[in-house]
Structure 1
Amino acid sequence: MAIPPPPGPEQPQGSYPPPHAQGPYPQLPYRTWGQGYSPYNRPAPVNGLAIAALVLGILCFLPAVGLVLGIVALRQIKKRGERGTGLAVGGMVMSSLGLVLIVLGSLGGFWADFQEGFRDAAAGASGVTFSVDEGECFDAPDGSLEGYAYDVDRVPCTGRHDAEVFANFTMQQESYPGEDRINDIADTKCYALQDRYAMDTWAVPDDVDVYYFTPTRQSWRVGDREITCMFGNMDEKRSLTGSLRNDATTLDADQLAYLEAARVLNTAMDTAPEEYVEDDLPGHRKWADRVSDALTEQAELLRGHTFEPGAAKPVAALVDDIEAARKEWAKAAGARDADAFQRHYDKGAELIDPHRTVTARKALGLDTTPPEYLGGGGDGVGGGDGDDAEV
């Protein structure tokens, strides 16, 4: 509802129309505006306790006292005919709210949660949570992939960038599981998903590692459940250049067939027991059995694909080594003691040494330098008789 402006000095409120608007009517003098003084219209005083109750209620200081003062003020106003009923009631209401918040806060930190929740709701309404899609690259505002992030600057992957997203997944928990639990989930799943995006792990530089965005307690409250997995340089002063993506969208049929077969073996190799074979022979035997099965599957996948003539011979030689290695790993799986296991393990591991895959990789146009964690370095040429295998 609009409120009309106050009367100006030229036209006091309640005056007759000005002379130029009177038309044929005779001109009349203006009426003066004012209030005559009379001892009979002196206003009643405002109750002092009502004022005090309102002040204590607004400041939320000693709310119990403010509530009591408001009650006493209402009695005095009624008895003495004073003004201030609205002040007393307002002070009582605000003091009562203060008391409720203090009681709830003493029971479980309600006030702190209330304030935090209010900030979170405001943050969610203003779009603090954000998402970066698989295959996108970005720069972090402060150049760091650690700490908290409220937004990122998306940039083309062809140039320099701080990170490249290789996977997103949504957590299914209803209640916030805690920062440590979320980080455990992100760490496990992001590392498991990286070779679906960068299938040729040899092509990932040694100074690149896996990072991730995770929901915070605050963003969880506004519906954030997404974990974003990304590649980034371990040195904050350095960045990435070009995309690390090599999957079905970028590889040819021969490269894809080779790397899919290699992943089968890599997955089995990654399940090795943490204990020494002397301390856990049964666990190592089960692991050797998994590796033997993976080698069988890997050989079948490679033999089932028709490679181009330039890669067919190196891949066939690789398959021969894989089948020979499978026999040794099968014997390790049936070893009666740690010494027997170690003998067959050594022979089987030699046949799938990563350096033996260089010839096939070169023929397929894949990276030929093993990563440092596989003993890489130099020109990628290692021991063996020139046959190839993949780990």
Structure 2
Amino acid sequence: MAVVGSSRPLRGIAAVVALLAVGAVGCSEVAESAKEGAKKVARQRSVYSLDIGDCYNPNGKAEGTAYAVEVVPCGEAHEGQVVGEFALDEAKKYPGEDGVAAVADERCPVEAQKYAPDTWALPKGVALFYYTPTAESWATGDRAVSCTYTAETGTLSASLGTAKSLEPAQRTYLEGSNAVYEAMWATQPLADTVEDDLAGYKAQAKAVAAALETHVGNMAAIDGTEVGKLRATLTKAAGNWKKAANAADSDAFYLAYDAAFTGIDPNASVAARKELGLATTVPADDAEVWAG
């Protein structure tokens, strides 16, 4: 996402400390197996001591609880990497699994983007998971949540950390772009239709408009023909999001929203991203949303 000891669940993936056994095989195979087993044991780290940037392999199958993982060099094959962490200091008592998960769902994407700002550059099949405290570990003072990018199939072969290698213009663009999409998805109303929650959809539109205006303002400092074209597109989109936020009724909202939503289609940013030297393949999840 056992052995006696405190554990932490990893949503979607698990690690279980394993006992290594040598069977009746040839001497050279035994020696090689023993060598690999010793290396694996030496690399075991408690899930409580994981740091941002650590690449690791779980010791068991997906789903369940974790006590320890095998921390490996990021250049070796690995299934996950810690890309963010935060503490649940605001809670006096254990919030329960659902309560902890709700906070992690909200905060892990933000923390992960600090370490790997360009989500378009992530390998295919990588998803965001997190280790969280259990009721038992909470009682011993555990408050940390570790956010990880994990390969749902196969393995990773390099660190996903890109923040330190970014140029100023790249960082400025990504911070603004990420903020726009975060504003959109973080404020998504639960109601399926605007008629059922016009106020909620207007609040979402207001949040997206504000994020877009900040993004557009910061893009003024970035040189480039394609960046300039995108800035003009997003300026128009911000105006439509504002119209949606101020809509008097559902009909007026829909009229503005159609143009507003189209205005932030990620496909429209591909040329500007190429000009900035950033990844240009729209993530599958985003592509599916806009195609729908």
Alignment TM-score > 0.5, same fold: yes
Q: Distance in 1 between matches of 2:189 and 2:95?
A: 28
Query: Deviation at 1:216?
Result: 2.7
2:130 match: 212
Query: Could you tell me whether the CA contact under 8 Å between 1:129 and 1:219 is conserved in 2?
Result: no
Q: Are residues 181 and 268 of structure 1, via their aligned partners in 2, closer, same or farther at CA, if it must alter by over 3 Å?
A: closer
Q: Kindly indicate whether residue 66 of structure 2 is the aligned counterpart of residue 149 of structure 1.
A: yes
Q: Which residue of 2 aligns with 1:239?
A: 155
Tell me what 1:43 maps to: none
1:224 aligned residue: 142
2:228 corresponds, among 316, 332, 345, to 316
* RMSD, aligned α-carbons: 2.5
Over alpha carbons, which structure has the higher Rg? 1
CA shift in 2, pair 1:225/1:331, >3 Å: closer
Q: Please identify which structure carries the higher strand content.
A: 2
- 2 CA distance for matches of 1:252 and 1:128? 35
The aligned residue for residue 121 of structure 2 is 203
Q: Percent identity?
A: 37
Q: Distance in 2 between matches of 1:191 and 1:258?
A: 17
Larger RCO (CA within 8 A; separation ≥ 6)? 2
- 8 Å contact kept, 1:137–1:165: yes
Q: Is the 8 A contact 2:47 2:66 kept in 1?
A: no
| Counterpart-to-counterpart distance in 2, 1:174 and 1:229 | 22
Q: Are the aligned partners of 1:264 and 1:297 in contact in 2 as well (CA < 8 Å)?
A: no
Counterpart contact for 1:120–1:221, Cα < 8 Å:
no
d(CA) in 1 for partners of 2:241, 2:156: 39
Q: What does residue 366 of structure 1 align with?
A: 278
Question: How far off its partner does 1:232 sit?
Answer: 0.6
Taking structure 1 as the reference length, the TM-score comes to 0.58
Instruction: Quote the Cα distance in structure 2 between the aligned partners of 1:154 and 1:128.
Output: 10
**What's the secondary structure of 1:160's corresponding residue?**
coil
Name the CA distance, whole Å, in 2 between partners of 1:268 and 1:188. 11
Structure 2 contact 46–69 (Cα < 8 Å) conserved:
no
Deviation track 1:67-102 (CA, whole Å, cap 9, x = no partner) reads xxxxxxxxxxxxxxxxxxxxxxxxxxxxxxxxxxxx
Aligned pairs (5 A) from 1:225-304: 225-235=143-153, 238-247=154-163, 249-270=164-185, 271-275=187-191, 276-303=193-220
Kindly provide the amino acid, as one letter, of the partner of residue 241 in structure 2.
Answer: W
Q: How does 1:117-136 map to 2 (within 5 A)?
A: 130-136=48-54
Contact 1:273/1:283 (8 A) holds in 2: yes
| 1:242 maps to amino acid | A
What is the rounded CA distance, in whole Å, between the counterparts of 1:147 and 1:129 in structure 2?
A: 13
Cα distance change, pair 159–326 in 1 and its aligned pair in 2 (3 A): same
Tell me the CA shift for residue 213 of structure 1.
1.6
Q: Supply the distance in 2 between the matched residues of 1:362 and 1:211 (Cα, whole angstroms).
A: 29
Aligned pair partner of 1:165 in 79, 82, 94? 82
Secondary structure of the residue that 1:161 maps to in structure 2? coil
Q: Aligned pair in 2 of structure 1 residues 256, 213: CA closer, same or farther (>3 Å)?
A: same
Contact 1:167 1:228 in 2 (8 A): yes
Q: CA, structure 1 residues 218+333, in 2 after alignment: closer, same or farther (shift >3 Å)?
A: closer
Residue identity in the other structure for 1:328: N
- Aligned residue identity for 2:157: T
Contact 2:84 2:108 in 1 (8 A): yes
Amino acid at match of 2:117: M
User: Equivalents in 2 of 1:331, 1:128: separation in Å?
Assistant: 52
Cα deviation, residue 167, structure 1: 1.1
Shift in alpha-carbon separation, 1:336–1:368, aligned structure 2, 3 A: same
Deviation digits for residues 340-384 of structure 1, max 9, x if unmatched? 2112111122222111111111111111111111116xxxxx99x
TM-score by length of 2: 0.76
Q: Deviations over 1:109-146 (max 9, x none)?
A: xxxxxxxxxx769xxxxx9663110011011122x353
Please list the CA deviations of residues 196-234 of structure 1 after superposition, one character each: whole Å capped at 9, or x if unmatched: 222111112342111222223333343322221101122
Give the paired residue count. 247
Say if 1:273 and 1:181 are closer, same or farther in 2 by CA, change over 3 A.
closer
* Aligned residue runs from structure 1 range 185-204, under 5 A: 185-204=103-122
Q: Which runs of 5+ in 2 are unaligned?
A: 7-44
Structure 2: how far apart are the matches of 1:132 and 1:250?
Answer: 23
